[in-house]
Chains A and B, each alone.
Chain A
Amino acid sequence: MCGDQNTQPGATRRRVMSAFLGGGVLATFASFLYPIVRYILPPPVADLGVNEVVAGKVGDLKPNTGAIFRFGSSPGLLILASDGTYQALSATCTHLGCTVQYREDLHQVWCPCHNGIYGIDGRNISGPPPKPLQAYDVHLRGDEIVVTLKREA
């Protein structure tokens, strides 16, 4: 009964058993965690794929005013400028996603959250916004004001 010969295989066996046990427990936890992570992340909502909406009727807006309309699942801003031309923009501020509004006193688009200012064409003029607002095409169909995504040039 020499100590060296007996403890060596015993210690190895113990290590192998520990590895099996630890691996089994880890695998069990992984099998719990995987469905939970998949569950927590919400299922994707189908994109409505809107590229054209009726934003209003001619005569709804007075010159030098703006109104919010629904463009798919996000808000858009329709402006009737003082010169009588229509302009449609995405109403989601490019800074942190607040909904912008048309300021009649400034003749500009304003985001109240962090005082971001855009021009009527959507250009970012002052404040924190890093990018211009996305501009949409506007045309009239009868007395309906139709807004469409700009065609890629």
Chain B
Amino acid sequence: MIAAIIRWLDERLHLEDLIAPFRHKTVPVHRLTYWYFFGGITLFLFGVQVITGILLLLYYNAGANEAFESVQYIMTKVRYGWLIRSIHSWSANLMILTAFLHMFSVLFLKAYRKPRELTWVSGMLLLFLVMGFGFSGYLLPWNTLAFFATKVGTAMVGQIPIVGQPMMIFLRGGQQVTGATLIRFFGFHVAVLPGLVVVLIAIHLFLVQRLGMSVPPKIEAEWVENPSARREMKFFPNFLLREMMAWYVAIGVLGALAAIFPWNLGVKADPFGSAPAGIKPEWYFLFMFQTLKLIPSKVWFIDGEVLGVLGCGLVALLWLLLPFFESEQPSRPKRWITGLAIFALMYVTGMSVYGFLAK
């Protein structure tokens, strides 16, 4: 029956031609193959976000007077509403985690080298967008922590010389964080960012498909020395089935976290209340937050805050362009890039832990 439907479609649409490139694609098999899974897991978690996000839209109500109550309604009155929201929050955090793991694995396996510079650039842009999803989505329940995180986050944008103030007013929909900000962030979160992300994911996947999987230089060298050690598996179905097993594990972890540690809602935001003590951003912004806290208020003649924000922006830009600093000779990779990658990983981890423990 199903075979007959597929045959009917194939006769008319020649589906076989569409699948053919996937049949030719192979995945190198070596001791580091499992690092190739993280991009796929990130994509899978994005799918979970789309589905649970649409479900939340059925009951969510943007607006300073309704947002908190509507999330409260989802969590207390709607059947399994607590679970759907908890999965959306946990999946968002796990997605950012796997995106970071994917980025560092690409960096250490040197997969960003020629000809994959644009794959890296599209991937970095996706990481920035995903963090934008995190920042905008965090405000939507309109609780105290989110309110002040948004106030601080948008104020940081306001520190940028010349363009900062107009950008801050654009983000906030006014001078202050109000219900207008909530409506804007809602629009960014459910319309603007998803549109951009879908286009970039398409580009990213096209490039991955077009260029094939990268083999780390060390392993490539081993294979050149000993050609009989070279191993590959077909992407379809062999690698895809393994990837789906990884997704199955991911959904298991996600379901367990969401059910055992349901995401809480906090206290409704009061724009005229004081910020609570020990307020911190989400963990994935902690390393930047802690860095900004450590910069003194005046460095030479520059404002510390301005220096920090501009520094973060500059580092992000250089990080985006990192592949263009790499040597085009696969046999002589630039050692300082590996050193920088190790430093970055240690810095991000160290500052996050410091930020988490600091009072």
Contact = CB atoms under 8 A, between A and B. Distances in A.
Interface in A65-114: none
- Contact size range, A: under 10
A40 interface: yes
Contact of A35 (B58, B80, B248): B80
Contacts, number: 26
B77 interface: yes
Contacts of A36: 55, 80, 84
B77 A39 contact: no
Contacts of B77: 43
Interface residues of chain A: helix, strand, loop or mixed (majority)? helix
Interface in A29-75: 35-36, 38-43
A28 B81 CA distance: 19
Contact of A39 (B81, B248, B251): B81
Contacts of B332: none
A36 B51 CA distance: 10
Contacts of B58: 39-40
A40 B78 CA distance: 9
Which of A35, A38, A39 has the most B CB atoms < 10 Å from its CB?
A39
Contacts of A40: 55, 58
B245 to A, nearest CB: 11
B83 interface: yes
Interface string B43-77: 00000000000010011000000000000000001
A42 B73 CA distance: 11
Contacts of A39: 55, 58, 78-81, 84
Contact of A38 (B79, B248, B251): B79
Nearest to B76: A43
Nearest to A31: B255
B84 A35 contact: yes
A22 B318 CA distance: 48
A43 to B, nearest CB: 5
Contacts of A38: 79-80
Contacts of B59: 42
Given A39-B55, A43-B78, 17 more contacts: A28-B251, A35-B79, A35-B83, A35-B84, A36-B55, A36-B80, A36-B84, A38-B79, A38-B80, A39-B58, A39-B78, A39-B79, A39-B81, A39-B84, A42-B59, A42-B78, A43-B79
Interface of A: 28, 35-36, 38-43
23 contacts: A28-B248, A35-B80, A35-B83, A35-B84, A36-B55, A36-B80, A36-B84, A38-B79, A38-B80, A39-B55, A39-B58, A39-B78, A39-B79, A39-B80, A39-B81, A39-B84, A40-B55, A40-B58, A41-B79, A42-B59, A42-B78, A43-B77, A43-B78
